[in-house]
Amino acid sequence: MKKSSLGKRKTERFDLELPASVSVAKSGDAQDLVQLLTRDICSQGAFLNTRAPLPEGTQVNLRLMVPLDHIPELKGRQSQIQASGTVVRSHDNGMAIQFDLGYQLLPIRPHFFIHVTGKNKLLNELLTRHVTAELGMRADHGPMEKLAKRAEEENSTTYLALVDYLDIRAGLPLSELEEAIGVKGAQCVVALFNAQRDQVIADSALRHGARGIFFADDSLDHVARGLEAISKGELWYAREVLTRGLQREIDPESSPAIPDPLTRKEKEILGAVAAGSTNKEIAEQLFISVHTVKTHLYNVYRKINASNRLQATLWATKNLQL
């Protein structure tokens, strides 16, 4: 471990040389959070370039997010560490923080990519930056075609298309949203943001398969919590919206009559859908093409009067007998 000529350096030199993202907050003040990027980091501390350094001796809480792209099997994921520390040096251009013992390694993020799309470029960029900083997830913004191109190049990732509701209101039907996104060969889910706080809008979003909805008056922190929940496979709706949705699906009087029985192959595919399998995974399981899977799903949706995977899954949990 090298030391400076003044003998003040108490930690090993910062030598990780990876673009780590560090969130810093004064101890006891979780709201006073600063997001900084650095390559000067090691197992014992970090040097952060900032024009507003904290005084020496300040106790801080930190969250470090280190990309693991240099490990092929973990490409796209981030190692997350929560730690506390002390500012041991403070200069005009930055501060050195020494980590306390007992830092906590958090679970590695799964392959999950958020794509923000809408006509308001400033809002899209702000939301993308906040998601990246707060959740450590990969995110980008731009037209839907940009997401489709990325999915072609990297089809092992789960994609969340976060769509501005104003674009939906302007003429793109919810029922055509998944087709408009154009992601093939990868699992893609949809959520809406910037919506009016309206029961009808929320009910419609759930009915058409959106995994969540965020309103124009929601805080960025609220949106971040919702996106984290969606990344874990959860739905992000108010409880009363989910209750109404389930009641519509399980109420015997409102359950759709089935004009034609499902074939055995259709039942197998519907069961796989209910288990969360993608079209590609179903094709591999049943040794058929993805096109054949889509054809069977079209027939299944028509027979059970469903318009998306969520409706089909809810129907299957109540009616399907393999």
Does some domain include residue 11?
Answer: no
CATH number, residue 70: 2.40.10.220
In a 3-state reduction of DSSP, which class is residue 206? helix
Tokens describing residue 165: 């509701």
User: Could you tell me which residues are beta bridge partners of residue 161?
Assistant: 115, 190
Q: Compare 50 and 23 and report the one with higher pLDDT.
A: 50
Query: What is d(CA 288, CA 292) in angstroms, rounded to the nearest whole number?
Result: 6
At 194 the pLDDT is 93
Same domain for 81 and 128? no
Does 3 reside within a domain?
no
The band of 175, judged by pLDDT with boundaries at 50, 70 and 90, is low
251 versus 42: the higher-pLDDT residue is 42
Question: Can you give the CATH number for the domain in which 151 is found?
Answer: 3.40.50.2300
Q: What share of the chain is helix, strand, coil (3-state, %, to 5)?
A: 35, 25, 40
8 domain residue, yes or no: no
What pLDDT, in 10s, does the model give residues 77-90? Answer: 566 677 788 999 98
Residue of 41, 39, 44 whose CA lies nearest to 11: 44
Number of domains forming the structure of the chain: 3
Residues 125, 200: one domain? Answer: yes
Tell me the C-alpha distance between 161 and 118, whole Å. Answer: 10
Q: Are 203 and 192 in contact (CB under 8 A)?
A: no
For 272, residues 6+ apart whose C-beta sits below 8 A from its C-beta are 281, 282, 285, 286
Which pLDDT value is given to residue 231?
Answer: 84
Examine the fold and report which residue of 248, 272, 296 is the final residue of a domain before the chain moves on: 248
pLDDT digits (tens, 9 = 90+) for 71-124: 554 555 566 677 788 999 988 888 888 888 765 555 444 567 889 998 899 999
The reply to whether 9 falls in a domain is: no
Which of 234-248, 286-300, 307-321 is predicted with the least confidence, judged by mean pLDDT?
Answer: 307-321
267 assigned to some structural domain: yes
pLDDT for 2 equals 43
Regarding whether 179 and 268 lie in a shared domain, the answer is: no
- If asked whether residues 182 and 290 sit together in one domain, one would say no
DSSP letter, residue 6: T
> What average pLDDT does this structure show over 3-31?
55
- Residue with more model confidence, 167 or 237: 237
**Whether residue 190 sits in one domain with residue 294:** no
Whether residues 126 and 233 share a domain: the answer is yes
What was the pLDDT predicted at 256?
46
Q: Are residues 100 and 116 in the same domain?
A: no
pTM, full prediction: 0.48
As a whole number, the mean pLDDT across the chain is 76
Choose among 54, 51, 42, 79: nearest CA to 64: 79
What residue ranges in the chain does DSSP mark as E strands? 20-26, 33-38, 45-49, 59-67, 78-91, 94-99, 104-106, 112-117, 138-141, 158-164, 188-195, 213-215
Q: Which residues lie below 8 Å from residue 290, measured CB to CB, with a gap of 6+?
A: 184, 185, 279, 280, 283
Cα distance between residue 194 and residue 140, in whole Å: 17
- 87 token code pair: 């500012």
pLDDT at 321: 56
Portion of the chain with pLDDT greater than 90, in percent: 11
CATH of the domain at 310: 1.10.10.10
| Residue at 1 is within a domain | no
Domain match, 171 and 149 both:
yes
Question: How would you classify the pairing of strands 33-38 and 59-67?
Answer: unpaired
| Residue 45 placed within a domain | yes
Residue 256 identity: P
- Name the amino acid, one letter, at 13: R
Residue 15 lies in a domain: no
68 and 129 in a common domain: no
Residue ranges making up the domain that contains 276 = 257-319
Residues 80, 138 share a domain: no
The span from the first CA to the last CA of the chain, in angstroms, equals 65
User: Do residues 261 and 301 both lie within one domain?
Assistant: yes
User: Which domain-ending residue is among 221, 248, 275?
Assistant: 248
Q: Which of 197, 219, 248 corresponds to the end of one domain? A: 248
Residues 95 and 155 in one domain: no
Pairing relation of β-strands 112-117 and 138-141? Answer: parallel
